[in-house]
Structure formats: structure tokens, C-alpha cells
Amino acid sequence: MPDLVKNEAENAWKFRQALLDWYDQNGRDLPWRNHGGDAYRVIVSEMMLVQTTVAAVIPYYHRFLERFPTVTSLANADESDVLKLWEGLGYYRRARHLHALAKAVVTDHQGQFPTDINALLALPGVGRYIAGAVRSFAFDLPAPILEANTIRLIARLIGLQDPVETSSSQKTLWAEATARVDPNRPGSFNQAMMDLGATLCSPREPACLICPVSPHCEAFKTGLTDLIPIKTAKSPLKPGQEFSLIIKRPADNAILLLKRLNHGLWADFWELPTFWVSGADPARRCELGFECPDSNQSIQLVECLMGLDIGPPEGALTKTVKYGVTNHKMTLQVLEAKLLKPHSDELLCPRGWAGAEFVPMPEITGRSISTAQRKALKIPLKS
Ligand code: SF4
């Protein structure tokens, strides 16, 4: 074997050994680990962890597994029950994908997760990272993974001085992730890379002096740990303004809710009549005809669209909710209004919506409602 190749192989072996020794002592004790290669648990946790922290996911994970302990139980569930358990985690498309994935595993794979990377990639919502995570974590088969923590870690290990988001950097990072996987313990290796990235190799002030792989780290050797990973500047969040009306039915204090269509942002979710005022419009309220510069006009709009007789908004603003969605920063103002005449006829559902109902407060908590709308309604958020 030529010396150069021999040295590379030795270095790779030393790197894996140092990392795995550290992981065996310091790996994080996470509830979805150590279940004897349960691919279902891996995929539920990974779908929940996209753009969400471990601490935030843990209570959701336990509730979800309690309600849907197997892939078959999830496949047989109603989508509204799945979304309900996801409420507060955001990125609801992941919940829909997970539900569709469970159905595909049951229908196309007899309830058994495939181990082949292409078969995993063919499942709904599964990209390269999740396919690699399932194959390596659940089945202990070699596959690369790359997510926020491992991107940072590998970029520092190789001293990558280009922005990590570019396609050439991504190609380099995936190639590194592939080449580094330990063929004997691929699952532990990938989890060790994630854990090291999440703990010692933190975004700011990495703990290089106690890092087990510092002898293999270019950023450490060259003093560039503060600079790497290089990221392209994010475009600023787009601000927008909306307001919601809490319209109560005096007889029982039931509240008027509208159901969104089954596609787009918050598909099939219930919400207060909410109007776009200015700036960004991520929920596409203008397209739904809920565009209004002031609250009096919005009352007229609801009266006209739904055949109701509503008094002007009462008193001052009851609440202001600030929330972020996709790349928008929204300010939602909440006003209360009252139904003037009892309404016994069936409610008219405005065009562009899937339903309209007066819903008693105790029942509202059982509906799928976004976090911002829960705050507007003062419904306690789940811990
Ligand atoms: Fe990260 Fe520092 Fe370890 Fe390099 S030496 S991998 S920068 S913690």
C-alpha cells in the first residue's frame, strides 16, 4: 500500500476510534435511541426534529408514541388526530408526510421499513438526511447523514472556507460524510457526529481543548473555528400585519371559527376570521378575500359573507400576538365583537374556506389550530 494511502487510512481509523470512544462515554441519552433498531421511532423523532430543538421535541415524541405506538396505528389514524398531536411543533407538512409515509410502509412494504436507501428515499417526506438516519440508526447499515450539527462539524474538520449552502460545498460535505462513516458501527458513528456537533462543536466558542478529534480538525489547527462554518447572509424577515376578530355568540359564548382549505399554509386548520392589513401575506388572506384595512370594514365583510349581524368591535385591542412563519415576521392584533342577533340558520361558509362554525370554548381545544391562533384565543399552549 503506498504511504499516502496508508497514512489516510490510519488517520481515518484514528478519527473514528477517538470519536466513538468519546461517544461511548458522552453520547446523549435520547428517548428515541436504544430501542433495538426501531425504524418507526427513528423516523418519528427525525421528522419532529427538523427545525426544532431536542428539548422541544421530547414531550411531543412521548405523546405521539403513546397515541400511535406502531407504524400501523399511525397509518390507520385520522389526519386530524395526527395534526392535533403535532400542534405547536409547526411545519405541519412534516406531520402530513409522516402520516402518508406510515400508510406507504403499511401498504407497499407490509408494515416493515425498507433498508435500501432508494426505497427509503421513495417514501413521502424522506430526503437524503432522513434516509441515512433510518438506515444507519435503525439498521446499523452504512449511510451518510448531514444536518445542521454535522455540517458545522465537518466544515470545521476540513477547514471549509466557502459558504456551506452552495451546491459545491454541499457536494464536498456529503462526500466527506460518506467517506468518514465507520463501516463497523455506522449507527453509533453518525450519532456520535451529531452529538459532538450539538455539544462540544457548538456554533459559538466550541470546546476545542477537550474535543476528542481536535488533532484531526483543520479549523482548530489554523485558528479558524470562529470563522467556519461560513454562511451566506440571510435575507431579512418580511414583516406583515393582520387582525383577528373574536365573535362570540351571546347564548353560549361559542366563538366563530373558519376552516382553512386542505392545501397551503395551515391546511385544514381552524382559525378566527383573520384579515390581512399590510405587508407580507403568507397565509394568502388577500386571495381568500380577507383583506381589510380596518376592523369596521372587516365586520361588514363578515356580515356580508356569512349573513350575520355583528356589532362593532368592543373596546380596545384585547391582545397583540407576534409570531414567525416561513420567512415572515407577523403582528396579529385581536379584537372582540359580539353577535347582535341570535343566529339560528346554518352559517354561510365564505368562498375560499372549507367550513364555518360557532364552536363552544371547550371544543376549540380539540380542533387543529396554529400556535399564533391559540395565543389569540388565549388557549394554553402545550408544554
Ligand atoms: Fe469542533 Fe473544535 Fe473539535 Fe474542531 S476541535 S471539531 S472546531 S470542537
3-state secondary structure of 239: strand
Phi then psi for residue 65, to 5 deg, are: -70, -30
Residue 126: per-residue pLDDT: 95
Q: Is residue 221 part of a domain?
A: no
Q: Which one, of 23, 16, 95, 113, lies nearest residue 52 by Cα?
A: 95
Residue 8: per-residue pLDDT: 82
Q: Is residue 339 part of a domain?
A: yes
Q: Is residue 79 part of a domain?
A: no
Q: Is residue 189 part of a domain?
A: no
**What residue's CA is closest to ligand 1, atom 4?**
217
Decide if pLDDT at 263 tops 60: yes
**Counting every residue, how long is the chain?**
383
Residue 5: per-residue pLDDT: 65
User: Could you read off the pLDDT of 323-338 as tens digits, one per residue?
Assistant: 999 889 999 999 888 7
- What is the Cβ-side half-sphere exposure of residue 303, based on CA atoms within 13 angstroms? 16
Residue 243: per-residue pLDDT: 87
User: Which residue did the predictor score with more confidence, 1 or 289?
Assistant: 289
Q: Is residue 247 part of a domain?
A: yes
CA of 268 to the centre of ligand 1 (A): 45
Pocket test for ligand 1, best of 154, 217, 218, 228 (most atoms within 8 A of CB): 217
User: Could you read off the pLDDT of 91-121 as tens digits, one per residue?
Assistant: 888 999 999 999 999 999 999 999 999 999 9
| Cβ proximity of 350 and 356 under 8 Å | yes
User: Which residue did the predictor score with more confidence, 341 or 221?
Assistant: 221
Domain that residue 326 falls in: 238-376
- Which is the closest atom of ligand 1 to the Cα of 197? 1
**Which domain CATH number covers 264?**
3.90.79.10
Using a 10 angstrom Cβ sphere, with 0-12 exposed, 13-18 middle and 19 or more buried, the burial of residue 24 is exposed
Phi then psi for residue 320, to 5 deg, are: -120, 130
Residue 186: per-residue pLDDT: 97
Q: Is residue 265 part of a domain?
A: yes
Decide if pLDDT at 381 tops 60: no
Q: Which one, of 137, 184, 177, 153, lies nearest residue 17 by Cα?
A: 184
Query: What is the pLDDT confidence band of residue 383, given thresholds at 50, 70 and 90?
Result: very low
Decide if pLDDT at 224 tops 60: yes
Query: What is the pLDDT confidence band of residue 345, given thresholds at 50, 70 and 90?
Result: low
Query: What is the pLDDT confidence band of residue 12, given thresholds at 50, 70 and 90?
Result: very high
Continuous H helices in 181-259:
186-198, 218-221
CA of 220 to the centre of ligand 1 (A): 6
Please tell me the distance from the alpha carbon of residue 160 to that of residue 164, in angstroms, as a whole number: 8
Q: Is residue 197 part of a domain?
A: no
Give the count of domains, the chain: 1
Which range (142-156, 159-173, 307-321, 354-368) has the least confidence? 307-321
CA of 156 to the centre of ligand 1 (A): 7
Q: Is residue 125 part of a domain?
A: no
Instruction: Write out the three cell numbers for 126.
Output: 424522506
Query: What is the pLDDT confidence band of residue 152, given thresholds at 50, 70 and 90?
Result: very high
Please tell me the distance from the alpha carbon of residue 380 to that of residue 153, in angstroms, as a whole number: 38
Instruction: Report the pocket of ligand 1 as residue ranges, CB < 6 Å.
Output: 153, 156-157, 200-201, 206-208, 211, 213-214, 217, 219-220, 225
| Cβ proximity of 159 and 219 under 8 Å | yes
